Structure 1
Amino acid sequence: MPDSVGELGEFGLIGAVTARLPQGQDVLLGPGDDSAVVAAPDGRVVVTTDLLVENRHFRRDWSDPSDVGHKAAAQNLSDIEAMGARPTSLVVGLGLPADLPSAWAVALSAGLAEEAALVGASVVGGDVVRSPLVVVSVTALGTLSGATPVTRSGARPGDVVAVCGRLGWAEAGFQVLSRGFRTPRLVVEAHRRPQVPYGAGAEAAALGATAMCDVSDGLLGDLGHVAAASSVAIDVDPATLDVAAPLREVASALGADPLTWVLTGGDDNALVATFPAGAELPDRWTVIGAVSAGSGVTVDGAEYAAPGGHDHFAGP
């Protein structure tokens, strides 16, 4: 295989990538035609899309290409999960520099396929273009299998708020990497590859979740979306939040507050949902707050001073 993407060429790259993409049971026609064909048994398709830009959402000196592929897929698969749906397929657009090593591009695609395989989904097609930076655009499709989608707008006063998955880990890894370090490995790997609680979305729907959201921009910020869409107030009890030992250790070394990372850090792709009071939740769901009449999100009954979530246009 030629060394660079430019030497390999568009169609050579497409061939090298698609040869490494296994197709799952939901795919009726995979890569190779003008479009793929994916089964939609109940007549509805859940669709989401996300964009990762080099040096904004990832850095090649921080993450290997497989990491970038895993992260790009995970961010979209978790959005499908957040609707109470099951992911079925991904379509990927790649913008790549001509001098990018072809092996890097192939490894990126392998990471995408490996993450998708964790939920039985497939990468069914996409496009490649020349770009000054690496850009990864992923569109994910999913099926509700006859169920009702769980939206952000169904939370009701009296509901409890529960979270499934890790919070603050990716932010801790980002803070470590930003200071030129590569350890502790646990938090650095959390930044490179989210650990999505796959299956928890459909599980929450079956348990009667009234609203749900993927936590990608920070717990408080994403709960703010739920509160606004549902026209309710949400209060988070900080005593219920898991501030893991690795986060405390890193925060101590950096002179930071690990609770801030848990409340406002993004990219962990946990799920947060509201449930009727008294709902019996599995152990992997932790009740962290309550819904009441009103508006906005508070922590222990008060406004939280730190930024409440990520905004792509809020900074440089």
Structure 2
Amino acid sequence: MNTAETIGSLGENESLKRTISRLNASEHALVGPGDDSAVISAPDGRFVVTTDTMIEGHDFRLDWSTGYDLGWKAVASNIADVAAMGAAPTALVVAVNAPASTEIHWLESFADGLRDACERLAPGCGVVGGDLAASEQIMISVAAHGSLEGREPVLRSGAQVGDIVAVAGTLGRAAAGLALLQSANRDAISAYDALVDTQRRPQPPITSGVDAAAAGATSMLDLSDGLAKDAARIAKASGVTIQIDRLQLQGFEAVLEEAARAIEASEFDWVIGGGEDHSLLATFPSDAVIPRAFKPIGVVLPVGHAPVMLGANPMPEYGWDSVRD
């Protein structure tokens, strides 16, 4: 007989009590969980805010990811968007819809993932509130906030001809991890568990967003949908063409070659079309001192026949599409 406690048997109040007790506090919260709304300090007078939703069966599978994994990923994917604006993450609000039969242990593990991701990726940031409701499948919605700390936001629309294009973080690792899981090749999944872990628990370079802003980045975004698609977003918003140097991608490809061979896939496709590494793509003036975390991979050219060029050839804008895929 299964006597495991579920969120249905415990009810909303007790389930939330057990969950909230596991979270870390935000250093920026004047009023945290417990009231109708949180109160967050904004000394700059401005703050950035972003939101994202993860849906079971579309964005994740429970046989691939634990509650802890999903808590971590929910934080990482949202605060990467904050970092891409040149802001420091300060607070998150998290809403979870789940079947009443969901064991409370899953929700507690999810909270642990939220806490640990905040502490590891953005110390001082924390969950300040949210909601829990019943549904037929698990849905996770996060709203993340960040402080500009007196800096101007870094937009997608500021790239200038002659700028250097650079990336902080990894390319293709999360896509490789997803392909390994989809292959159901247990030997390959075990052999390349570090890639699978990148898919389950991304490690975006959060502090590099502030570093890029301080260094004078002219544009920046979070690489959530793939290098080709996201570079095109900067190019279109800025009215320029981005030229990627294939040679500068070889290092990213090299770490994926063995895994690609193991499941007969293309490491190049992972690097240019794979999303969910949540790395940062930015452009910098040619005379800027580019932060060490950023690797130059191309240049900004006058607008041409294609938003993104791979050397002399147009690069198709393929990658993840949250509506079509």
TM-score by length of 1: 0.96
Query: What does residue 99 of structure 1 align with?
Result: 101
- Residue deviations 1:213-235 (CA, integer Å, cap 9, x gap): 00000011111110111010011
Query: What does residue 207 of structure 2 align with?
Result: 199
2:319 pairs with 1:309: yes
SS at match of 1:278: coil
Contact 1:74 1:115 in 2 (8 A): yes
TM-superposed deviation, 1:245: 4.3
* Number of equivalenced pairs: 314
Unaligned 5+ segments in structure 1 are none
Query: What does residue 24 of structure 2 align with?
Result: 22
SS at match of 1:199: helix
1:212 corresponds to which letter in structure 2? M
Query: What does residue 291 of structure 2 align with?
Result: 282
TM-score by length of 2: 0.94
Aligned-pair identity (%): 43
Aligned counterparts, 1:54-203, within 5 A: 54-118=56-120, 119=122, 120-180=124-184, 181=186, 182-183=189-190, 184-203=192-211
TM-superposed deviation, 1:244: 4.9
2:38 pairs with 1:36: yes
Contact 2:168 2:205 in 1 (8 A): yes
2:221 to 198, 213, 225: 213
SS at match of 2:228: helix
1:220 corresponds to which letter in structure 2? A
1:116 corresponds to which letter in structure 2? C
TM-superposed deviation, 1:2: 5.8
Contact 2:99 2:134 in 1 (8 A): yes
- Residue deviations 1:186-213 (CA, integer Å, cap 9, x gap): 1110110101112100000011100000
- Residue deviations 1:240-276 (CA, integer Å, cap 9, x gap): 0122544110111222220110111000000000000
1:258 to 238, 257, 267: 267
Question: What is the CA–CA distance in structure 2 between the aligned matches of 1:165 and 1:301, rounded to whole Å?
Answer: 25
Question: What is the CA–CA distance in structure 2 between the aligned matches of 1:6 and 1:72, rounded to whole Å?
Answer: 23
Contact 1:157 1:292 in 2 (8 A): yes
1:41 corresponds to which letter in structure 2? P
Question: What is the CA–CA distance in structure 1 between the aligned matches of 2:137 and 2:108, rounded to whole Å?
Answer: 16
1:313 corresponds to which letter in structure 2? V
Contact 1:2 1:8 in 2 (8 A): no
TM-superposed deviation, 1:58: 1.2
TM-superposed deviation, 1:288: 0.3
Contact 1:76 1:139 in 2 (8 A): yes
SS at match of 2:141: strand
Runs of 4+ deviating beyond 3 Å? none
RMSD: 1.3
